[in-house]
Structure formats: C-alpha cells, structure tokens
Amino acid sequence: MRMRAIRGATQVQANTAEAIGAGVQELIGAMMRSNSLTPSAVISVIFTSTPDLTAAFPAAACREIGFESVPLIGAVEVDVPGALARTIRVMMHCESSAPDGQISHIYLHGAQALRRDIAQ
C-alpha cells in the first residue's frame, strides 16, 4: 500500500445546498468506485469551490456518505476571470496498491474540460 492522491472535479447546476450536495456525493462516489476504495482507505479530502458556490459546505455532503471519521476541509478556489463557474474540485489522499497508471482521476459534467489529459 502506498499513499496516493486522486483528483476530481464536477460542475454543479446551481448554487443550492441540494445541487452542491448531490454533486459532491456523485463525484466522491465515482472516485471511490473507480479506484476500488472504501472510506477506511481514505486519509483526508480537500475540497475547493469556486467563489460562486456559497449555499453549502462540500464536506458536509461527504460526511453523509460514510466519511464521518475522515478529515475533510474546504477552501475557496482562486477567482480567475473566465474560469469555469460552479465548480467543486477534490484532492483525495488514500492508501492504495494500484499502480500509477491505474489511478482514476474523475472529472464530471462541465469539469471534464479542466483536465482532459488525466480524466478517466
């Protein structure tokens, strides 16, 4: 087992608690499934949100799906002019035996445009 960092991002439909929560849960679920992980393998998760997402904390939605004991933190993404709106980014640190080429970085919805080079 090695400590790994897995990236992900999603673009949500609206600045509402429901849209943010659903987006986070969809993204985290896809990251976990794609990398064959359980919450017990996750060391920590860092969330960033674009400044236009203020209705809810992404970490709160993550806690609802089994991450109660995992350290989670959120921050505001740099407000770059012209950047993709309503975007939540994730950096998940975990323990995994997967080789480098088998780690799946997940980009959903409009966020697929952010990192086509590593998105699965």
Q: How many CA atoms lie within 13 A of 16 on its CB side?
A: 5
* pLDDT above 60 (res 119): no
* Percent share of the chain, pLDDT over 90: 87
In this prediction, residue 1 has a pLDDT band, given cuts at 50, 70 and 90, of confident
* pLDDT above 90 (res 54): yes
Domain boundaries, the chain: 2-113
Give pTM, 2 decimals. 0.93
User: For the residues 14-35, what does the mean pLDDT come to?
Assistant: 98
* pLDDT above 80 (res 118): no
User: For the residues 43-56, what does the mean pLDDT come to?
Assistant: 98
Which pLDDT score, from 0 to 100, does residue 120 have? 53
User: For the residues 106-117, what does the mean pLDDT come to?
Assistant: 87
CATH no. of 2-113: 3.30.1330.40
Alpha-carbon span 57 to 110, nearest angstrom: 20
User: What is the C-alpha radius of gyration for the chain, rounded to an integer number of angstroms?
Assistant: 14
- When the pLDDT of each residue in the chain is averaged and rounded to a whole number, the result is 94
- Which residues are registered as beta bridge partners of 44? 93
User: For the residues 65-78, what does the mean pLDDT come to?
Assistant: 96
106 alpha carbon, distance to own chain's centre:
8
